[in-house]
Structure formats: structure tokens, C-alpha cells
Amino acid sequence: MDGIDKLLTVKEVSELLGLSDKTVRNFDGDGKLVAIRTQGGHRRYRLSDVLIFQRGFVEFQKGDVVKLNSGGPAMTVNWIGEKFGELKVGCSWFDEKHKLEHSVFCPEMLALEKKNDNSLE
């Protein structure tokens, strides 16, 4: 299989999503990202399914500006990855006294405010 229908291993999916192998396997068990089983019982994931999952699960990327769904300051996404077995988003912002603050959030707590356009056109 080529292109979008390519089958990926657990390791390839974990590297693409920035998660541990165990979390990817748990997503399969939870029905969040369903694997195809080989004759030997190994998990394989369609690239198209992984990309759809990635877009739907986290709508933002490093450099984007986000806000908490409950309000608050605009924050810059510094990283997206796994922490404590769950997908997390690391953000930075300046508080009202202009002090740089950092914290980690679950993606579902955040809303995209502005995409980072890094293109060099």
C-alpha cells in the first residue's frame, strides 16, 4: 500500500503523534484509533486514519496561539506530546505583570485563536 492507504506500525504512529507505544495501543483498546490486525496479531494503522485522528484530536500545532475555553490570556503552543500517559499541550504566556508563565494543558481545554504562519513565501 502506498500513500494515504499505507499501513503504519505502532512505533511509526507513536512517533508521528508524539505519544508512547502504550498510549497508541490504549487508543486502539478504547476505540479512539482502531488498528487492523495482521495474521500474526500485530497492530497496523492506516495512515489516513492516523492523519484524521491527528487533525481531530489536536487542531493546533507548535507556534499557534490558543486560549483556555474558560477564558484567560492568549498563549503560545510550545509543544504537543505525551506526559503522564496522556496527550498534553505545553503553552507560554505573559501575565498582567508581563512575567512569562508556562503550563501544561489537555488539548480539549484549549481553543485555537490564531494559526502560526511560518511560511517563507
Q: What is the pTM of this model?
A: 0.57
Instruction: Identify the DSSP state of 18.
Output: T
Domain definitions of the chain by residue range:
3-57, 65-114
**CA angle (91 as vertex; 28, 24 as ends), nearest 5:** 10
| CA torsion angle 24 29 34 38 (round to 10) | 90
pLDDT at residue number 2: 53
pLDDT at 119 over 50: no
Using one digit for the tens of pLDDT, what is the confidence trace for 9-33? 999 999 988 889 999 999 888 778 8
- Assigned CATH for 3-57: 1.10.1660.10
Residue 64's pLDDT band (cuts 50, 70, 90): very high
Using one digit for the tens of pLDDT, what is the confidence trace for 29-53? 877 888 999 999 999 998 888 877 7
pLDDT at residue number 84: 65
